[in-house]
A = this chain, B = another copy of it.
Amino acid sequence: MSLETISTNRSHGGTQGVYKHRSSETGTDMTFSVFVPDHAEGETLPVLWYLSGLTCTHANVTEKGEYREACAQHGVIFVAPDTSPRGDEVPDDEGYDFGKGAGFYVDATEQPWAANFRMRSYIESELPALLAASFPVDMDRQAITGHSMGGHGALTIALRNPERFRSVSAFSPIVSPLACPWGEKALGGYLGGDKAAWREYDACALIEDGARVADLLVDQGDADGFLEEQLRTPLLVAACEKAGQPATIRMQAGYDHSYYFISSFMAEHVAWHAERLAT
């Protein structure tokens, strides 16, 4: 596994890097960003994964996420992967909500997607191995967060891998692809019509089926235009209550779906994870 450095910039008392590598899971080059706070030689730091939403690459949160100050303060490495395979040879859809930029963190089983759209295995297996080999990370101290489609990714990956993540949070997550048009289109396209196969990619269904995480934090803007039809936060509230899953799910008055919202609560999320990653 070789890693190409695209750029490094000193920022907030640490190093913001952007890197590229050839992914065996997706069969394409993949780009991601890593922020590493200054630290003692030989020291390893806990890691917070951030999964991005529809249409995004690693760049959106890297430029607009306002996480570096908090990560430097708490000594947390921040990793932002891309949201899908890229390249001319990768199949795509005309919509912004399926295909490139819209991997939904699944391993596709349907054609023509199955060869490249393996974002579940990429995030769960390939990229962690590369990270462990290349950065000063303590892989026994991991947490995960994300936005919108990436919030869905963070919740489902954490629920399927509770031993790996001490904590999971999300900004305006899609809480149930089974119950929204974005999910219907994407999971139908990637996984086919048998909805039983979708349940391991649906946070509410995973909780209903018995999956649990140690601790869960969600912030959702009440002026978010996607809330009612696509994100459906109340379904997650109900699933957690019914299952006894501890969760802090907060509605934030006046906030929308943008990075203006995410950046407003990012430092709080970093601090919340850092507390759970401390020792």
Q: For residue A38, which residue of chain B has the nearest CB?
A: B254
Q: Is A251 an interface residue (CB 8 A)?
A: no
Q: For residue A9, which residue of chain B has the nearest CB?
A: B260
Number of interface residues of A (CB under 8 A): 23
Q: How many angstroms between the C-alpha atoms of A261 and B9 in the bound complex?
A: 8
Partner of A9, one of B13, B68, B256: B256
* Complex contact B264–A11 (CB within 8 A): yes
Neighbouring B residues of A223 by C-beta, 8 Å: 10
Q: Is A69 an interface residue (CB 8 A)?
A: yes
* Complex contact A264–B12 (CB within 8 A): yes
Identical subunits present: 2
Neighbouring B residues of A12 by C-beta, 8 Å: 263-264
* Complex contact B63–A63 (CB within 8 A): yes
Interface string of A1-27 (1 = CB under 8 A from B): 000000001111100100000000000
Neighbouring B residues of A267 by C-beta, 8 Å: 69
Partner of A11, one of B9, B13, B69, B260: B260
Neighbouring B residues of A10 by C-beta, 8 Å: 221, 223, 254-256, 260-261, 264
Q: How many angstroms between the C-alpha atoms of A66 and B263 in the bound complex?
A: 9
A-B contact pairs, 5 of them (CB 8 A): A10-B260, A11-B260, A11-B261, A16-B260, A68-B264
Q: Which residues of A are interface residues toward B (Cβ below 8 A)?
A: 9-13, 16, 63-64, 66, 68-69, 221, 223, 254-256, 258-261, 263-264, 267
